[in-house]
Copies of this chain bind each other. A is one copy, B any other.
């Protein structure tokens, strides 16, 4: 792509803002894509960004604002009047407009809404604000092209010309009956290849995928991905056509879900980005570190209970980080596979099957690793019993860690709790404690005191 943000470009823009050279700024920016301008704005300071938003046309700035980071957008909106915000909303599709309003402080929301000029647009946005943001209703837009089943192709094309003016992208044409109940769909391709006198009732496809307005965003994403859909109609419990969801919004849902699971696995509990503030990062990371600290203290307390072994078998204590780390790694591997399979809904078989498979795998991996560890410890200390105790413990710990890592996310999923929280520090910490406890118990059994 030809567009690239350079330091030079940013300097040029800040210079033009400083000189209030509006004409040159307009010339420079008005033909660029809103996504590119949004990137430029994120490199400017708040005053400069606001300056440009106030300067450019609202059909462009509304799209720019929607493209920006939520935090940055929020700050700019604070600098705009309710009337100015309403003007941006007039240009946006209903779904984006509702999203933008929902981010405003409550006292501003009503003032902004009352400033929206287009009455139908206003009513549509108010309807969308009623739905949960993680539901189909929260994702859908009211803009769509629909035709009635008693029209013919010619009337259809004529009416669609009018409707299409207000719809950014035409994907499918939905066919409804006189009660606005979804009956089927019509592809643009069919319209292109059918004679104009054909009644719609003869050409429409009655089999149409749809989602209920209360379905979760994840379910919508799953259906659209599975059936490779680019848009899906949204209906209420009585099949009344309410809106439609397009694939670009679903791409965002998929990306956010994946990012969230990834962060969770890395022990980051809130949705943060590299550029967020120190405090946001600290808040997102500290809880899991506390958990880790708690686990480490637990492990220390357990070791304190076996303190009498330290004189004769000091070497045992040298291998506790190894035991802890291996228990953690095996647990994370096992849980990640389960969490990912659940997220992609391609998990088959019973819990017992899963556990048996993980058990077999842990046997194989555990055996390989234990043999290596035995060779090393024997070579180092030449104490066969200690070496045996350490390597047998590792073997058992790997099996237990694998089973815990498999069982916990499956259990949470059954309890309708997001299994992703069971990955990362949670598994690492619990496996640390279990691992150390098993390790010293086995060692004590084999070695006496």
Contacts and interface: CB of A to CB of B under 8 A. Distances in A.
Contact of A35 (B226, B286, B288, B424): B226
Interface string A302-331: 011001001000110111111111101110
Contact of A274 (B43, B282, B304, B354): B354
Interface in A331-355: 332-333, 335-338, 340-341, 344, 346-349, 354
A372 B27 CA distance: 58
A372 B248 CA distance: 46
Contact of A259 (B314, B340, B364, B376): B340
B170 A188 contact: yes
A273 B193 contact: no
A170 B189 contact: yes
A340 B262 contact: yes
Given A262-B262, A286-B368, A428 B192 contact: no
Contacts of A321: 296, 299-300, 303, 320-321, 323-324, 432, 436
B228 A248 contact: yes
A169 B189 contact: yes
Contacts of A304: 315, 318, 380
Contacts of A167: 189
A258 interface: yes
A417 interface: no
A185 to B, nearest CB: 13
A292 interface: yes
A203 to B, nearest CB: 14
- Judged by DSSP, the binding face of A is helix
A247 interface: yes
Given A267-B333, A297-B373, A320-B321, 10 more contacts: A1-B211, A35-B226, A161-B192, A188-B188, A258-B258, A273-B341, A275-B348, A278-B357, A299-B318, A321-B321
11 contacts: A35-B228, A164-B193, A230-B230, A266-B337, A274-B354, A285-B330, A290-B369, A297-B373, A299-B318, A317-B320, A328-B328
Interface of A: 1, 31, 33, 35, 42-43, 157, 160-161, 164-165, 167, 169-170, 187-189, 192-193, 207, 209, 211, 223, 225-228, 230, 247-248, 250-251, 254-255, 258-259, 261-263, 265-268, 272-275, 278, 281-282, 285-286, 288-290, 292-293, 295-297, 299-301, 303-304, 307, 310, 314-315, 317-326, 328-330, 332-333, 335-338, 340-341, 344, 346-349, 354, 357, 360-361, 364-365, 368-369, 372-373, 376, 380, 423-425, 428-429, 432, 436
